Amino acid sequence: NIQTGVASESWRARAGEPDAASKGQVRDVVKQAIASENSAVAQTFGAIFGQMRVPMALRHIMPVGVMGVFCALCIFLMISTDTTYIHSWGSILIQDIVVPLRGGRPLTPRRQLQLLRLAMVGVALFSFVFSFWFSQIDFIMMFFMITGALWAGAGVVITCGLYWRRGTTAGAFASLVSGAAVALSGFVAQKTWVPHIYPWLESHGYLPAVKRIVEGASKPFEPFILWRVTPDAFPINSQELSFLILIISVSLYVGISLLTCRQAFNLERMLHRGKYTRPGDRVFVRAPLTFRNALSKLVGIDSEYTRGDRALAWSVFIYSVGWGFGSFLVLIVWNMISPWPNLWWAHWFKLTYLIIAGIIAAVSTVWFTIGGTWDLRLLFKRLAAKDRVVDDLDDGRVIGHVSADDVEMVEKIEHTGEEK
């Protein structure tokens, strides 16, 4: 094999095909040439050059038919993901911004649906225009991290609002605004660092001070955090920015809520528990913690889980903790004692990401196809039966910290003392 490899490389060199080192040199030369004219375009070229390695490799690895199936699958996943994002951001725009700004004044169901549809069209148009003009300068997953962090404060507000009685509106606004402001600032800084910020700092003599502050801040955490002020990229990556945003959002939400909270919030009323349980709703009974059910509670299994739900929950838990985390620990200890050769790692990745992943994919495809078809049939059956009453007050409005469709029920319970 070694002789064959050497002969192959020799033939390629004689044939004029560049090897990996030559390709790297060509990339650097091209990037430097572009940078002499436009540093921002050179940064984009370097990012796209690295990202195109996997698609180009797959083109040579996969047969023609398999490659076509893979591309079709990517298109299907892209469509399903984009529609979900469009629906999510469009509904956030109307339900979390427009409706609260109306000060409790209701919208007709028809008008609200029209606004939701227009918002989703607007999100789709913005996505198209933004993607048309925006040039990628970072890894795709890093881009997801920084764009997702724009609304990271919402996750903090939802989580703390559902599980903490001391949260306030002031704390929520502080968390949302700070998270969005830091994320947007970081995004703009990453995009403009190479063509504008770094040259400006250098020309005005601020670069040594900024370098001393930024690199000094990361020094206690090295080598886990390594911030370096260079002309090639913004020193803080998107993953680190997302972590900082979460820390800032949580700190502001908790701190300002503690300063402004005058009375503990009624979570039972919001979550429809106890005397606030709606007619016809199942009453959730919390089982006491015992030695026998401690592990089930850790997994998240409760009395509402069916037998199929339990099987799914246990299988995911065993695979994630037993195989995922367990094998991770074994690999760390083993390689600390006796490092693996490259061939062993190749077999490990083949087993983990091809064989085991393929088995799970085959089982999940059959399982989800049968279950999804059954549930979809049940959904249309229930919609056709019209066995539920449509409540026009259930439009997302909150009046006096109470959902608009719950106001009458809450007043009846709290002011007259009458319980269901």
pLDDT digits (tens, 9 = 90+) for 70-95: 888 889 888 888 888 899 889 988 98
**Per-residue tokens: 156:** 């903090």
Quote the DSSP letter at residue 107.
Answer: P
**Per-residue tokens: 171:** 């704390």
Per the prediction, the chain carries an average pLDDT of 82
In this predicted structure, the answer to whether residue 143 has a pLDDT above a threshold of 90 is no
What does the chain come to in residues? 420
Rounded Cα–Cα distance for residues 290 and 305 (Å): 18
> Any idea which residue has 């085991």 for tokens?
356
Rounded Cα–Cα distance for residues 183 and 149 (Å): 6
The verdict on whether omega for the bond into residue 341 sits within 30 degrees of 0, i.e. cis, is no
Angle between helices 169-192 and 238-260 (to 10 degrees): 160
Strands (E), 184-332: none
Comparison of pLDDT for 40 and 9, the residue scoring more:
40
Comparison of pLDDT for 292 and 169, the residue scoring more:
169
pLDDT digits (tens, 9 = 90+) for 362-400: 888 898 899 889 989 988 888 777 656 677 778 788 887
How confident is the model at residue 300, as a pLDDT?
A: 76
Classify residue 386 as left (phi > 0), alpha (psi -120 to 50) or beta. left
* Degrees to nearest 5, angle at CA 275 with 271 and 279: 80
Phi, psi of 206 (to 5 degrees): -90, -10
Phi, psi of 398 (to 5 degrees): -125, 125
How confident is the model at residue 416, as a pLDDT?
A: 65
Classify residue 272 as left (phi > 0), alpha (psi -120 to 50) or beta. left
Rounded Cα–Cα distance for residues 109 and 195 (Å): 49
Phi, psi of 399 (to 5 degrees): -120, 115
User: Count of CB atoms within 10 A of residue 45's CB?
Assistant: 19
**Per-residue tokens: 357:** 């992943």
- Pick from 183, 184, 235: nearest CA to 207: 235
**Residue 24: pLDDT band by 50, 70, 90 thresholds?**
low
**Residue 119: pLDDT band by 50, 70, 90 thresholds?**
very high
Least confident of 21-25, 293-297, 371-375: 21-25
Rounded Cα–Cα distance for residues 364 and 112 (Å): 37
Least confident of 34-38, 170-174, 404-408: 34-38
**Residue 9: pLDDT band by 50, 70, 90 thresholds?**
very low
Comparison of pLDDT for 9 and 219, the residue scoring more:
219
| Residue 173: burial class (beta carbons within 10 Å; 0-12, 13-18, 19+) | middle
pTM of the model: 0.72
Rounded Cα–Cα distance for residues 202 and 218 (Å): 21
| First-to-last C-alpha distance (Å) of the chain | 80
What percent of the chain stands above pLDDT 90? 14
**Residue 14: pLDDT band by 50, 70, 90 thresholds?**
very low
Residues 328-334 have a mean pLDDT of: 90
Q: Which of 96-105, 206-215, 262-271 has the highest mean pLDDT?
A: 206-215
How confident is the model at residue 4, as a pLDDT?
A: 33
Phi, psi of 403 (to 5 degrees): -60, 145
Rounded Cα–Cα distance for residues 188 and 201 (Å): 16
Least confident of 5-14, 109-118, 267-276, 370-379: 5-14
Contact assessment for residue 70 and residue 63, using Cβ atoms and an 8 Å cutoff: no
**SS3 for 402?**
strand
How confident is the model at residue 124, as a pLDDT?
A: 92
In this predicted structure, the answer to whether residue 419 has a pLDDT above a threshold of 50 is no
The gap from C-alpha 409 to its chain's centroid, in whole angstroms, comes to 37
Phi, psi of 402 (to 5 degrees): -130, 135
> Any idea which residue has 């083109």 for tokens?
59
Least confident of 134-138, 142-146, 168-172, 387-391: 387-391
Rounded Cα–Cα distance for residues 177 and 72 (Å): 39
